[in-house]
Amino acid sequence: MMPSSATPAPLLSAHRLAFSRNDEPVFGPLDFSIGRGETVLVEGDNGSGKTTLLRVLAGMLPPSAGEIRFEGAPATRDVCDGRLLWLGHRSGMNESLSARENLEFLAGLYGVHADVDAEAAMQRVGIAGWIDEPLRALSAGQKKRVALARLLLLPGDLWLLDEPYANLDRHGIELVNALVTGHCAGDGAALVTSHGAVRFADPCARHIHLEA
C-alpha cells in the first residue's frame, strides 16, 4: 500500500455518476465520495434506484455516464476485486449448506484460508447455536444474521449493504449499526441503503437522498 500522501484520495468517489435502464434514468447524475472511517446512508423510496446505485458501485452494472474512482484510480475490476463486500437482497449463500459451510466457502473465495473463525462470527451475530443447521431451517432474520457474519470474516475496505435492516428485529438493527460502527472505526467505510424507516446509528453520517 502506498504511504498516505498529503491529501489522501477518498476510498471511493463518484463523479457525475448516472444510470439509465432502457433509456429511463434510474438515478443521477450523482457526485459523492466516501473516505475511510465514513458511513454514508443512501435514502429514498422504493424504486428510487438505491439498489441499482449499489450494484453500479459494486461493478455488477456498468454506469451509463460518469466515473467511479477507487482510491483515486478508476475503479476497474483489478482495483476493486476483494476490496468491496456486498450484502444484497439475495443472501449469497446456499440453502442446503450450513452456516459454517457457507461462511467457510465465502471466506475461501476471498482468499482467507487460515483460521476462519466462523464460530466467533456467528457468536457475534447472536446465533452461534445454528452454525451447523442447514440454512433452509433458519428464519429470514436468522439468515440475514448469517449474511452479516460474513462481513466479519471477509476482508474488505468498503461495505456495500443493500437494505441490511430488512427482516431484522430491534436487536438485529442495533447489531447492524454496531457492525458498521466497528468497521468504520477500523478504518473501513460503509455505504448503506435504507428506505428511511430505521434509526441509523451515527446521526452525523452523511446522507444521499435519491428521488424516485
Partner 1 sequence: MSRSYIPHWIHWLGSPPNFYRFAGAWRPWLMAAALAAGAIGLYGGLVLAPPDYQQGDAYRIIFIHVPSAWMSLAIYAGMAVAGLIALVWRVKLAEVIAMESAPIGAAFTLVTLVTGSLWGKPMWGTWWTWDARLTSELVLLFLYLGVIGLYHAFEDRRRGARAASLLALVGVVNLPIVHYSVQWWNTLHQGSTVDLFGRSSIAPSMLWPLLVMALATHLYYFASILGRARTDLLSLESGKQWVRELVEEQPAQRQGAPT
Partner 2 sequence: MVSTPSNALGPTRARQGQAARTPTAWHACRALLRRDFVLAWRRRGELFLPLLYAVIVTALFPFALGPDPQLLGRIAGGVLLVIVVLAMLPALDSMFRSDLEDGTLEQWLLAPQPLALLALTRVIAHWLTTVLPLLVVMPLLGALLDLPAGVLPVLLVALLLATPLLALLGSVLSALAAGARRSGILLALMLLPLAVPVVIFAAGAIAAAQSGMPYLAPLAWLAAALAMAIVLAPLACAAALRIAVES
- Give the per-residue contact string, 2-41, with partner 1 (x = CB under 8 A; - = no): --------------------xxx-----------------
203 binds partner 2 (CB under 8 A): no
> Which of 172, 119, 116 lies closest to 143 in space, CA to CA?
172
78 binds partner 1 (CB under 8 A): no
Among partner 2, partner 1, none, residue 23 binds (CB under 5-8 Å by kind): partner 1
The CA distance from 54 to 193, in Å, is: 8
Over the Cα atoms of the chain, what is R_g? 17
Among partner 1, partner 2, none, residue 22 binds (CB under 5-8 Å by kind): partner 1
Query: Maximum CA pair distance of the chain?
Result: 52
93 binds partner 2 (CB under 8 A): yes
In this complex, which beta carbon is closest to partner 1, that of residue 24 or of residue 78? 24
Q: Residues with Cβ < 8 Å from 173, sequence gap 6 or more?
A: 165, 198, 199
Across 8-91, the runs of DSSP E, i.e. the strands, are: 12-21, 24-34, 39-44, 65-70, 73-74, 84-87
In this complex, which beta carbon is closest to partner 2, that of residue 25 or of residue 182? 182
The CA distance from 160 to 190, in Å, is: 6
Among partner 2, partner 1, none, residue 14 binds (CB under 5-8 Å by kind): none
| Contact set with partner 2 (CB under 8 A) | 1, 36, 58-62, 80-86, 88-97, 101, 104-113, 117, 120-121, 123-124, 126, 152-153, 155-157, 171, 174-175, 178-179, 181-183, 185-188
